[in-house]
């Protein structure tokens, strides 16, 4: 099939490459010329495991190209919309201007029978609005909402082998003409047994909002338990192991730490609350306000604990933050808890150096006031305290004796509860975890 993918960021670039891998002829379109020239040279414009190899591999087949010219969408029968939907400045709601602009520039190229597929995360009601705009322009084209569930760091495998596929179509019917078109697009994962659910437009949009709200709630739940554990002298990691053994609860997403961040969960729960308010259903989601504030409290708590660890004052303390990305295996620093903590520490008088294997370039653009050091050895030399804030594998494997020989003081805070506290303490370190004695 001929497919266009509009918006080639973390979602769209991976989606375009994976669709070509599945055998389709794909054009990726983005307004960002720098991204387009990088992708055209088979270079990933951001770090995502496996993406660059995939780009090289599929571009050799001639099935994948990139351009900033929207007219390249003409001739495709399926058009995926993958543009950003960030939080509006100073408000909780989602900024839909990129979705609207993408739709407007796409419209002249849509032919009868074409399927426009929204993948961006949008407030419920957006699909119906866009479907109206589409049908005014091209009554014989269809609009499907096909929310995306990929995880950064696993985006390629998640796209090629998703847990499930959700198609939101206008009438919610399995017989809708667009369903068979999308079945052809996803023929390979469907043949491998990926479950597929057909819903109406609002249900498909809400599936994504609900999934992200559930994940955020699960993280904030265990972080709330961490607060109580700290007050009671209990250990949240053992608590999570024990409750996670109950099948109804499950151990995944029960890791207490510095909380969630990134370009999705924080803005998506806020946009969901804002939209529920517009619909007169705000009471239903008041718990998400608490989920958000528990999450933000973790960041303040780490600053407090670091001050304690440094003997009561941060002034002049040389602190090394291990990790800048919002999660490991990614260079994405959007709403990164690690960087937010680093910036707060610096504001309170500490001298902060941040290290990260992949995310320093992005970090320096957002927080130019912090110091950055790529090499971990140089970053930790002479430090008064270490903070592990993004759980990259290489930080989990640090040897307390080796690290101990280059820091100024043996103090470490494990913001992700991934280090063996007993081992670090045995090596003479003052060790702090979150929600652990």
Q: Under rule CB under 6 A, how many of the chain's residues touch ligand NAD?
A: 26
CA–CA distance from 212 to each of 70, 119, 289, 293 (Å)? 31, 15, 14, 16
Place of tokens 């001050």: 307
Looking only at residues 72 through 91 of this chain, which bind ligand NAD when binding is defined by CB under 6 A? 82-85
Residue nearer to ligand NAD on the CB measure, 31 or 133 = 31
Do residues 164 and 190 make contact, with C-beta atoms less than 8 angstroms apart?
Answer: no
Q: Which residue has the tokens 């919309």?
A: 81
By beta carbon distance, the residue nearest ligand NAD is 9
Query: Smallest gap, in angstroms, from Cβ of residue 382 to ligand NAD?
Result: 36
Rounded to the nearest whole angstrom, what is the least distance from the CB of residue 52 to ligand NAD in the complex? Answer: 16
How far apart are CB 400 and ligand NAD at their closest, in Å? Answer: 34
Least gap, CB of 110 to ligand NAD (angstroms):
14
Work out whether 7 is an interface residue with ligand NAD (CB under 6 A): yes
Nearer to ligand NAD, 310 or 339 (CB): 339
Considering only CA atoms, which of 160, 149, 164, 88 is closest in space to residue 119?
Answer: 149
Q: Which of 5, 6, 124, 343 binds ligand NAD (CB under 6 A)?
A: 6
Question: What is the rounded distance in angstroms from the CA atom of residue 215 to the CA atom of residue 220?
Answer: 9
The residue whose two tokens read 């800048």 is 324
- Segment (H or E) for 203: helix 201-232
Q: What is the footprint of ligand NAD within residues 213-272 (CB under 6 A)?
A: 263-264
Instruction: Pick from 1, 2, 25, 32 the residue near ligand NAD by CB under 6 A.
Output: 32
Our CB check for ligand NAD shows the closer of 101 and 242 to be 101
Q: With H, G, I as helix, E, B as strand and everything else as coil, classify residue 263.
A: coil
What is the nearest approach in angstroms of ligand NAD to the Cβ of residue 36?
9
Cα separation, 24 vs 9, in Å, equals 20
* CB-CB contact of 119 with 11 (8 Å): yes
Q: Which of 16, 18, 21, 35 binds ligand NAD (CB under 6 A)?
A: 35
Burial of 259 (0-12, 13-18, 19+ CB in 10 A): buried
For residue 226, the minimal CB distance to ligand NAD (Å) is 25
Q: Which stretch binds ligand NAD (CB under 6 A): 51-59, 96-104, 163-171, 299-307?
A: 96-104
362 binds ligand NAD (CB under 6 A): no
Q: Which residues in 150-189 contact ligand NAD (CB under 6 A)? A: 150, 152
Name every residue whose Cβ is closer than 8 Å to that of residue 117 and which is 6 or more positions away in sequence.
Answer: 78, 79, 80, 81, 143, 144, 145, 146, 182
For the annotated catalytic residues, the residue numbers are 264
Q: Is 126 in the site for ligand NAD (CB under 6 A)?
A: no
- What whole-number distance in Å separates Cα of residue 312 and Cα of residue 305? 9
Identified binder of ligand NAD from the candidate list 4, 30, 222, 291, rule CB under 6 A: 30
**Alpha-carbon Rg of the chain, whole angstroms?**
23
99, 120 Cβ separation under 8 angstroms: yes
Residues within the interface to ligand NAD (CB under 6 A)? 6-12, 29-32, 35, 82-85, 98, 101-102, 120-121, 148, 150, 152, 263-264
């Amino acid at each position: 099939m001929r497919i266009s993918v509009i918006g080639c960021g973390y979602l769209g670039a991976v989606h375009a490459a994976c669709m070509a891998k599945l055998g389709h002829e794909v054009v990726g379109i983005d307004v960002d010329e720098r991204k387009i020239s990088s992708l055209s040279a088979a270079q990933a414009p951001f770090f995502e495991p496996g993406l660059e190899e995939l780009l090289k591999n599929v571009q050799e087949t001639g099935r994948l190209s990139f351009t900033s010219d929207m007219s390249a969408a003409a001739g495709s029968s399926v058009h995926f919309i993958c543009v950003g939907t960030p939080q509006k400045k100073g408000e909780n709601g989602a900024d839909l201007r990129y979705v609207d602009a993408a739709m407007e520039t796409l419209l002249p190229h849509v032919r009868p029978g074409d399927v426009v597929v929204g993948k961006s995360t949008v407030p419920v009601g957006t699909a119906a609005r866009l479907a109206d705009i589409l049908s005014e322009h091209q009554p014989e084209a269809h609009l499907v909402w096909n929310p995306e569930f990929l995880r950064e760091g696993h985006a390629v495998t998640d796209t090629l082998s998703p847990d499930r596929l959700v198609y939101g179509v206008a009438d919610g019917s399995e017989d809708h003409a667009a369903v068979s078109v999308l079945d052809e697009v996803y023929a390979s994962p469907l043949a491998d047994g990926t479950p597929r659910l057909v819903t109406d437009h609002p249900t498909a949009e809400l599936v994504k909002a609900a999934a992200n709200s559930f994940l955020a709630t699960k993280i904030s739940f265990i972080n709330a338990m961490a607060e109580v554990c700290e007050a009671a002298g209990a250990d949240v990691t053992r608590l999570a192991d024990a409750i996670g053994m109950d099948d109804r609860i499950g151990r995944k997403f029960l890791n207490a730490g510095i909380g969630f961040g990134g370009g999705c969960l924080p803005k998506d729960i806020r946009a969901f609350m804002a939209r529920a308010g517009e619909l007169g259903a705000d009471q239903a989601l008041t718990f998400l306000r608490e989920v958000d504030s528990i999450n933000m409290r973790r960041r303040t708590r780490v600053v407090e604990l670091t001050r304690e660890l440094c003997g009561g004052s941060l002034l002049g303390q040389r602190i090394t933050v291990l990790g800048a990305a919002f999660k490991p295996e990614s260079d994405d620093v959007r709403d990164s808890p690690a960087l937010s903590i680093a910036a707060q520490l610096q504001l309170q008088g500490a001298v902060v150096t941040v290290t990260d294997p992949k995310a320093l370039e992005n970090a320096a653009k957002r927080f130019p006031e912090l110091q950055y050091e790529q090499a971990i050895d140089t970053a930790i030399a002479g430090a008064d305290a270490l903070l592990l804030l993004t759980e990259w594998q290489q930080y989990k494997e640090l040897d307390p004796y080796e690290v101990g020989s280059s820091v100024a003081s043996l103090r470490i805070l494990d913001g992700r509860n991934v280090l063996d506290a007993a081992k670090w303490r045995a090596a003479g370190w003052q060790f702090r975890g979150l929600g652990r004695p």
